Amino acid sequence: MSTVFHVDIVSAEESIYSGPAEFLVAPAEAGDVGIYPHHTPMLTRIKPGSVRIKAPLQEEELVYVSGGMLEIQPDVVTILADTAVRGADLDEAKSIEAKKRAEEALKDRSSNMDYARAQAELAESIAQLAAIQRLRKRGH
């Protein structure tokens, strides 16, 4: 019985990760889902957050996704993300600025910004900052 499965994480722009994994955690719409080899097939939407990938003989890798779809097959996991960024490539200053802009737009109801869009941008920037903090705790 295999102790690994294949993972593909792709966004509209590029393939972010393709390789083996022993374990993966993804931010599914109803809560985080942990995946081991031979997981039951599943299809679900994902929300903004961190995908954690534990590859054989490597440190855990973190990929930020802004949403999309997660497909699980017994030996293959595919994440089709709206946007995906390797954890090490996240820009904290940009995320903080985006969070401030979204919070201001939510406070100022007279602004031209769409309320739902401001909420989505706020959730995305908070998820990016959480991913950055998780990386810092691991010492990256």
Report the alpha-carbon angle 107-49-76, nearest 5: 155
- Indicate if 69 and 101 belong to the same structural domain: no
Residue ranges making up the domain that contains 20:
5-87
Mean pLDDT of 37-50: 93
* Model confidence at 44: pLDDT above 60: yes
Predicted confidence (pLDDT) per residue in 3-14, tens digit: 999 999 998 888
64 and 106 co-located in one domain: no
Look at the block and give the residue holding tokens 């999309």.
68
User: What is the tens place of the pLDDT at every residue in 62-88?
Assistant: 898 988 999 999 899 999 998 888 876
Note whether 83 and 32 are same-domain residues.
yes
> What pLDDT sits at residue 85?
84
CATH number, domain of 50, equals: 2.60.15.10
On whether both 61 and 79 belong to a single domain, the answer is yes
- Considering the domain architecture, whether residues 25 and 59 belong to the same structural domain is answered as yes
How confident is the model at residue 91, as a pLDDT?
63
Q: Give residue-wise pLDDT tens across range 92-137.
A: 656 666 666 666 766 766 555 576 777 777 777 777 777 777 766 7
pLDDT in tens, 52-66: 999 999 888 889 898
